[in-house]
Structure 1
Amino acid sequence: MTEPAARPELLRLANVHAFYGESHVLHGVDLAVGAGELVTLLGRNGSGRTTTLKAILGLVGRRTGSIVVSGRETMGMPTHRIVQLGVGFCPEERGVFASLTAEENLTLPPAVRSGGMSLDELYEMFPNLRERRKSPGSRLSGGEQQMLAMARILRTGARLLLLDEITEGLAPVIVQALGRAVRALRDRGFTVILVEQNFRFVAPLADRHFLLERGRVVDAITRDELPGRMESLHRFLGV
């Protein structure tokens, strides 16, 4: 198990197994994330990255092992209780309500903890949303929908952000805007776990990279180690 360096521990997974029906997807995931850290889960399709995020929130058919969030064992908790510990999930499918305006989408989720970002703060972080705040979700571009999905969880007071493939299919200018937003969140002390195929996007952002293969963490690479590990990492990712 790879420990976070010199940070209070916010999240720990120990020997986590996860199942969808009879399908055994995670095979003993071990990892720990420190408060304020930004880490990535890297691996090929089917390696268990998204399932790891869903297992943290209890969004799998069955899970075993131990998942501790802010010092609380969550393995027996329902999802809504885990969210109340300050966990926010931005799924790959975004889940924007098409008939509601961007601002209505933003104000719909309830606050689960104090300290959620205000509309003004979110509009400063995502200026596109300010311009499109009266537009229905169905009229937003893919990039604007992604910004909205991220902004929505920041309203709730979540401090541990689970972000799943936030740049997939988006134009480079939108990817750059999302990169600035993620960097700003890290600077504000949020803890972020990114599942991302675009390694060029995550490489300059992350403190550590966890490598997943066949439902297990097989390696971890720190920011300082990354330059010397690029060749082996590209082989691992198949790029």
Structure 2
Amino acid sequence: MPEAPIVLETRGLQAWYGESHVLHGVDLQVRQGECVTLIGRNGAGRTTTLKAILGLTDRRSGSVRVNGREVINLPPHRVARLGLGYCPEERGIYRTLTTAENLTLLPKLGVEGLPSEEVLQMFPNLRERAQSYGGQLSGGEQQMLAIGRILTTGARILLLDEITEGLAPVIVEALRDAVTSLKRRGFTIVLVEQNFHFARDLADRHYVVEHGRVVAEIAARDVAAQEDKVSKFLGV
């Protein structure tokens, strides 16, 4: 069986916040339908990698290709319209709008967006809070809503940043089920995650980021044999 096509690729990706040089040449490839994680210590450059892919850093250089198209010089809104959905660590929901309203406001990036009803089936908690304002939701419900919103747009490449941080175990399991379902549906997922226990069984491959560079790539089948190596990279 031929390999799936590469839908997201960075080569020599560098990024800055002001004068601070954060990424020093990140190389990664993600194939259609894969779930790939960026793991590493806090401050390693994982979140900045997602932002640099989208053009949300002050400056970037190198190469970012989406479905084979070079986008390093495109503004963020044009990169997103190529089918990228970004769920930031701070979630970014509209706190003064209801859950239902949040699910209808983002622009459509393609014809494959999930209907709001399907999002509510995936996250039953949101159905119960459909008329609650975003600011009234729990942290876990806000996270579900943040993911649900980008699913309505038709984005097929999902960039998910620390989606389990600070959440109760029952919510983490619900998010695991959701990511598993999305992968089964053919979504491509790049997951920044500090909780390696959550990420290890979801991902096809793990990129280890350290000091703004990818220093290792570990296939899912090799994780058990490299447990000590992973622990060292994560500082645990």
| TM-score, length-scaled by structure 1 | 0.97
2:117 is the counterpart of 1:132? no
Percent same amino acid among aligned pairs?
60
C-alpha separation in 2, matches of 1:21 and 1:100: 33
Which residues of 2 match residues 33-48 of structure 1 at below 5 A? 33-48=30-45
Aligned residue identity for 1:10:
V
**1:55 CA displacement:** 0.4
C-alpha separation in 1, matches of 2:223 and 2:109: 36
Equivalent of 2:209 in 199, 207, 212: 212
C-alpha separation in 2, matches of 1:120 and 1:223: 33
Partner of 2:193: 196
C-alpha separation in 1, matches of 2:157 and 2:78: 14
Partner of 2:161: 164
**1:6 CA displacement:** 2.0
Aligned residue identity for 1:66:
S
Partner of 2:95: 98
In structure 2, list runs of 5 or more residues that go unmatched: none
Partner of 1:177: 174
**1:185 CA displacement:** 0.4
* SS of equivalent residue, structure 1 residue 107: coil
* SS of equivalent residue, structure 1 residue 179: helix
Equivalent of 2:62 in 56, 62, 65: 65
- Encode CA deviations 1:22-60: one digit per residue, 9 max, x unaligned: 100000101111000000000101110000000010000
Equivalent of 2:106 in 101, 105, 109: 109
C-alpha separation in 2, matches of 1:155 and 1:185: 13
C-alpha separation in 1, matches of 2:119 and 2:66: 25
In structure 1, list runs of 5 or more residues that go unmatched: none
Partner of 2:118: 121
Aligned residues: 235
* SS of equivalent residue, structure 1 residue 209: strand
2:135 is the counterpart of 1:151? no
C-alpha separation in 2, matches of 1:218 and 1:95: 30
* SS of equivalent residue, structure 1 residue 51: helix
C-alpha separation in 2, matches of 1:160 and 1:96: 19
**1:71 CA displacement:** 1.2
C-alpha separation in 2, matches of 1:43 and 1:6: 27
Farther-moved stretch of structure 1 (116-125 vs 174-183): 116-125
Partner of 2:84: 87
